[in-house]
Structure 1
Amino acid sequence: MAGSEAKTVQKSSNHDVKHLPRKRPNPSNSLASATGGGVSEYKSIEESSSSCTSTDSGNMEEIGASSKCSDGSEDKTVNKSSNKACDYWMSGSCIKGDGCQFLHSWFRGDWFSLLANLKGHTEAVCGVALPSGSDKLYSGSSDGTVHVWDCHTGQSTRVINLGDEIGSLISEGPWVFVGLPNVVKAWNMETAADYNLNGPVGQVYAMTVSSDTLFAGAQDGSILAWKGSTESPNPFELATSLKGHTGAVISLTIGRDRLYSGSMDSTIRAWELDTLQCIHTLNGHADAVMSLICWDDYLLSCSLDRTIKGAIAFCGMHDAKDKLVLFCSCNDNSIYLYDLPSFNERGRIFSKGEVRTIETGPGGLFFTGDGTGSLNVWKLAESHGRVLQVA
């Protein structure tokens, strides 16, 4: 990870984790709402045979708007030599042209396309949210700003400078939640009301919502839970603080009746939503648990211990044919796309930096944000429903 992008939070094994890359599956996502299961249902995924190859860092300067060969024809088949994007092309300096054996494209696959590249952040994108009923897209970055993007023009209409590093950003209904050091900011997009939810100690790295409860994972290892309230002047009341992790909580997801938390202490904890008691501690990883997702009878986790290519973030969605696809961001600046349950690779997305945020949206949309501050909007090739109209 780029050492210039953030402060060292905590040392875990042999890694100094700098501005923890994050992903929070939305509880409404079909993959995140399936049964998570207990210890007997926790399964690990063996490391893929393909290895990670580092790519040059830098700012994204152009968009490969479609997956085409250099002669203009559609790239329906990909040669074995073109499993990655050309580093020189990504920097705008490839002189081989048609003779280059690597892809001159930001992605490989013909079932999705790149809709827009939104530029404005100067550091890692740590959260993307499209509140229900809104025509505005919100993105938060470790540069301390939240950008508000117009879904019709793709332009940044407002920049909110919060004055401190943002660790996470999510939305639920009309609410947008922003995780900062020692506080969570809650904004209602319908009423323009905003609140400070106090209680966290240190940076808030992960958030998720279940029913009427907001959970936030903090740097001190605690998970704070706020209950929604209609009787108090403040619509959020701090219910409890879940204790157990000895390192920062950096990933949260909801399974059926359970909250799962991943930490820099290398463990995963399962909490009953009814009692908010820890019922299992999973010790399968040897380093920070970066991302979690529930699918079918499995809890999928990725860690800096390289059990899945040195994976950074997970996301899951259905394609246009209703097939399940797993998005796995790795530290080779790529997102690998796998069919489930076969785990056959069916595409790849390339970036100038580690992709730390992957979010799904309505109408076949999904969003990726990387360590350089670049935010990309993608859509399924045959999707239906509301689609972001961007220039």
Structure 2
Amino acid sequence: MDLDGGAGNNKRVFNRHGTDSSKNQKVCFHWRAGKCTRFPCSFLHSEPSHPSGSAAAASSSSTANGSGAPKRFADDSRFSGSAQRRGPNFKNNHNNSWGRMGANNKVVRKTEKVCNYWVQGNCTFGDKCRFLHSWSLGEGFSMLNHLDGHQKLLSGIVLPAGMDKLFTGSKDETLRAWDANSGQCTGVINLGGEVGCMISEGLWLFVGIPNAVKAWNTQTNQEFSLSGPAGQVYAMIVGNGLLFAGTQEGILAWKFNAVTNSFEPAASLKGHTLPVVSLMVGANRLYSGSMDHSIKVWSLETLQCLQTLTEHTNVVMSLLCWDQFLLSCSLDQTIKVWVASENGNLEVTYTHNEEHVLREG
């Protein structure tokens, strides 16, 4: 092999050193970015001059389409910013909107999980915590007021329709009324027992406490005490003109008698073997969740049990009717979606497993 056979046999070596610029008209990509370290370089360190007219237009089009120098990266706005190769003197003066700046100018990226330490009231990271310090996620949420007064856990909160007052019940055995505009406490009632649940229906406010249900007419300020429950009242709901209460011994129902202006016992629904802690009404049915891990379906017309659902393996804490579905949440760390089959019975159509479960205390 003749390595010294003349200039014609040494073109590759000759061109690599850039001494024959007419053989390679491509502009150096690294030179464009200000980072070329080769000297001499086999590519051009200057923009080539193009002839005028149609030939120049054709050359420019060829370059923009990628057949020539990678000019398209410099011109295309999709590749501007961090995606574009930067020269040694490049400075980014734009604000970074993809996170918040924490200590040492590090970006704090939030997760979608609620901070367990914040829930317990002892997170020391503050705004620098990467977990949520809020029960809600999304834009448009902001704190209006911080209502201080209760000494123990809140177990009920209602905002009756058409009123400017918020009512809260607590395990400190008090019911408080708040001005919804100013956030100031306007009244305190000592109930003599821990509040297990609260609901509002029309003009009525109902509060469940051990061995009784308290009822207030928010328009006339009339107060009633509905007797019958044994132990704590855990849940209440109104359906088909009846007030239902989930108690330690089952479900009790009352009906308001306008003639006597009083609540009268209407029914007692038996079947659960442990306390009933959740109630829901939908599709002319009453649904009850219990500590016995079951859900019972009752007819609102006959008050008879139509079906018992036993797929949960722990306490059924909450129920929700949504469209044609029933959703149930349990301490077995699952949320189940139920739908009626052809024979009318509810069957599980989807189960969601939740890793974190918040427990009282």
TM-score of the aligned structures, taking structure 2 as reference length: 0.60
Higher Rg: 2
Amino acid at match of 2:253: A
Corresponding pairs, count: 242
Deviations 1:41-91 (A, max 9, x none): xxxxxxxxxxxxxxxxxxxxxxxxxxx96559xxxx994757444848963
For the pair 1:170 / 2:196, whether they are aligned, the reply is no
Higher share of residues assigned helix: 2
Q: Is the 8 A contact 1:253 1:261 kept in 2?
A: yes
C-alpha distance in 1, partners of 2:302/2:116? 52
For the pair 1:93 / 2:120, whether they are aligned, the reply is no
| Gap change, CA 1:252 and 1:85, over 3 Å in 2 | same
Question: What residue in structure 2 maps to residue 149 of structure 1?
Answer: 178
Q: Is the 8 A contact 2:333 2:357 kept in 1?
A: no
| Gap change, CA 1:165 and 1:104, over 3 Å in 2 | closer
Q: CA deviation at 1:122?
A: 2.0
Alignment of 1:126-141 (within 5 A): 126-141=155-170
Superposed CA RMSD:
3.1
Select the residue among 294, 315, 324 that pairs with 1:267: 294
Q: CA deviation at 1:130?
A: 1.5
Select the residue among 235, 239, 256 that pairs with 1:228: 256
Deviations 1:233-275 (A, max 9, x none): 41x1111111111100000000110000000011100010011
Q: Is the 8 A contact 2:174 2:190 kept in 1?
A: yes
SS of residue in 2 equivalent to 1:265:
coil
C-alpha distance in 1, partners of 2:261/2:174? 27
C-alpha distance in 1, partners of 2:302/2:111? 53
C-alpha distance in 1, partners of 2:196/2:161? 22
C-alpha distance in 1, partners of 2:317/2:131? 29
Q: Is the 8 A contact 2:236 2:245 kept in 1?
A: yes
C-alpha distance in 2, partners of 1:135/1:329? 37
Question: What residue in structure 2 maps to residue 298 of structure 1?
Answer: 325
SS of residue in 2 equivalent to 1:122:
coil
Amino acid at match of 1:269: K
Select the residue among 235, 239, 242 that pairs with 1:213: 242
Amino acid at match of 1:93: T
SS of residue in 2 equivalent to 1:205:
strand
Question: What residue in structure 2 maps to residue 241 of structure 1?
Answer: 268
Question: What residue in structure 1 maps to residue 187 of structure 2?
Answer: 158
Q: CA deviation at 1:139?
A: 0.7
Q: Is the 8 A contact 2:242 2:254 kept in 1?
A: yes
Q: Is the 8 A contact 1:82 1:102 kept in 2?
A: no
Amino acid at match of 1:230: A
Q: CA deviation at 1:94?
A: 2.7
Which ranges in structure 1 are unaligned for 5 or more consecutive residues? 1-67, 310-327, 334-353, 357-370, 372-391
C-alpha distance in 1, partners of 2:234/2:139? 34
C-alpha distance in 2, partners of 1:303/1:176? 27
